[in-house]
Amino acid sequence: MSPTAPAPIITPSGFSAYERAALRVRNIGCGGVSRGSGFAIADHVFVTNRHVVGGAALLQVSTYDGRDITVNAVGAVIIADLALVWTKEPLPATLQLALSNPPLGAEVTAVGYPLGGELTTTSGRVLRYDRDPLGSSPLQMMYNSAPIEHGSSGSPLVDSSGKLVGVAYAGGGGQYVAVPVAALTQALKDPANFSNGAGCD
Over residues 75-106, the pLDDT tens digits come to 888 888 999 999 999 999 999 999 999 999 99
Report if residue 137 sits inside a domain. Answer: yes
Question: For the chain, what is the mean pLDDT?
Answer: 88
Q: What's the distance, Cα to Cα, between the start and end of the chain in Å?
A: 32
Residue 69 lies in a domain: yes
Residues 21-37: tens digit of each pLDDT = 999 999 987 668 889 99
Is position 127 within any domain?
yes
Same domain assignment for residues 134 and 180: yes
What values do phi and psi take at 39, rounded to 5?
Answer: -155, 145
On whether both 114 and 174 belong to a single domain, the answer is: yes
pLDDT at 173: 77
**Residue 197 maps to a domain:** no
- Best CA proximity match to 90, nearest among 131, 126, 40: 40
- What is residue 136's predicted lDDT score, i.e. its pLDDT? 74
**DSSP track, 104-166:** TT-EEEEEE-GGG-S-EEEEEEEEEEE--TTSS-SSPEEEE-----TT-TT-EEE-TTS-EEE
Of 94, 123, 153, the last residue of a domain is 94
Query: Is the domain of 90 the same as that of 124?
Result: no
What's the pTM?
Answer: 0.88
Torsion angle, CA of 175/62/46/142, rounded to 10 degrees? 0
User: pLDDT class for 201, splitting at 50, 70, 90?
Assistant: low
Please check whether residue 112 is in contact with residue 152, taking contact to mean a CB–CB distance below 8 angstroms: yes
Work out whether the CA dihedral 62, 64, 66, 67 comes out positive or negative. negative
Per-residue model confidence (pLDDT) at position 29? 79
Average pLDDT over residues 157-172: 94
Query: Domain holding 152: CATH number?
Result: 2.40.10.10
User: For position 139, what pLDDT does the model report?
Assistant: 87
The Cα 94–Cα 77 span in angstroms is: 20
Q: Which residues have C-beta within 8 Å of that of residue 47, sequence separation ≥ 6? A: 38, 39, 40, 41, 82, 83, 84, 85, 154, 156, 167, 184
pLDDT score of 182 more than 70: yes
Write out the catalytic residue numbers: 51, 81, 153
9 located within any domain = no
Q: Is residue 116 part of a domain?
A: yes
Structure confidence at residue 121 (pLDDT): 95
What's residue 11's pLDDT?
A: 53
Mean pLDDT along residues 187-197: 78
What tens digit of pLDDT does each residue of 126-145 get? 999 999 988 778 889 999 99
Do 43 and 65 lie in one domain? The reply is yes
Evaluate whether residue 166 is within a structural domain: yes
Burial of residue 32, with CB atoms counted within 10 A of its CB: 0-12 exposed, 13-18 middle, 19 or more buried = exposed
User: Is the pLDDT confidence value at 71 over 90?
Assistant: yes
- The total of structural domains in the chain comes to 2
Domain boundaries, position 114: 107-186
pLDDT of residue 200: 57
Handedness of CA 134, 137, 138, 139 (dihedral sign): negative
Predicted pLDDT of residue 7: 52
Evaluate whether residue 58 is within a structural domain: yes
